[in-house]
Structure 1
Amino acid sequence: MATSLVSGRVSEECKERAAFFIRRAGLTTSDVIRIVWENIARTGEVPKPVEESAAGDQSLETVDNPLMRRFLELRATTPSSDFLRNLTPEGLKEELASRDI
């Protein structure tokens, strides 16, 4: 079976963050692209983009679970950290190795 190269562009931040999750799932970028394209070809359904607010931001008004509500309250009041958000497993190892523990 002949193959074709498929390419696209995303921001560097998106690429790095996605690569972390792809590696954690034991896949490669090529695996993910192939899976998505094969699923589209098989089903005819194109994945819909996830809105930024829907990508894990739950509204407190929609949460009934008290523990989840408390977690969301704490998350909303905790400062964001680009360093931690973008930290890879290798970066974490380097960070811990550089500390005197």
Structure 2
Amino acid sequence: GTRPGEGERPGLWLVGDEGVYIMSNGKLAEGLRPLVVYAEQCHPKGDGDWWDYERRHFGADDGIEFIEAERLIPLFDRNMRATHLNVQLTETEIVLSLITR
């Protein structure tokens, strides 16, 4: 789940690095790069305050949080018209919800 080659389970990685983004943990063909979807408030090329936002909401250190596909699929199945995934982090949990805009 949290690293390639370890406990291969389908899902997403929530990554705090240069910005905050989600990406699939699925294997790609050699030479391909994963699709990366940045948080609206935390894209290093689109928001001048991205570093402060990342530090405040994700933490000062880089990191990865694994989100299991089995948590996501029922959420998406209930709202096929959703346009945004809302991710809220607390000290102990990741809360997921969908938004339709």
User: In which range does the TM-score fall when normalised by the shorter chain?
Assistant: under 0.3
The normalised TM-score by structure 1 is 0.26
**Bigger Rg, structure 1 or 2:** 1
From the two aligned structures, give the one with the greater strand fraction. Answer: 2
The normalised TM-score by structure 2 is 0.26
From the two aligned structures, give the one with the greater helix fraction. Answer: 1
- Higher RCO (CA-CA < 8 Å; seq separation 6+): 2
